[in-house]
Structure 1
Amino acid sequence: MRVKAVISYDGSHYQGFQKQKSTKMTITAAIEKALASLQIDSPIVGSGRTDAGVHATGQVIHFDLPDFWSDLEKLKHNLNRKLTDISFKHISVAANDFHARFSAKKRVYRYVFKTHKPSVFEHKYISYYEAFDPALLINALKIFEGEHDFNFFHKTGTITHTTIRKIYRTDYVERNGYHFIYFQANGFLRSQVRMMVDAAMRCARGDMSITQLQEQLTCQKKHTTKLAPPEGLYLSRIVYG
Structure 2
Amino acid sequence: MTQDARVIVALDFDNVEQANQLVEQLEPSACKLKVGKEMFTLFGPEFVKSLINKGFDVFLDLKFHDIPNTVAKACKAAAEMGVWMVNVHASGGAEMMRKAKQAIESSSHPQTKLIAVTVLTSMDQDQLNDVVPGVTPAEQVAKLAALTADSGLDGVVCSAKEAVMLRKSLPESFLLVTPGIRPAGADVGDQKRVMTPVDAIEAGVSYLVMGRPITQADDPLATLARVNESIQ
> TM-score, normalized by length of structure 1?
0.28
> TM-score, normalized by length of structure 2?
0.29
Please say which structure displays the higher CA radius of gyration.
Answer: 1
* Structure whose residues are more often helix by fraction: 2
**Looking at both structures, which has the greater relative contact order when contacts are Cα pairs under 8 Å and sequence separation is at least 6?**
1
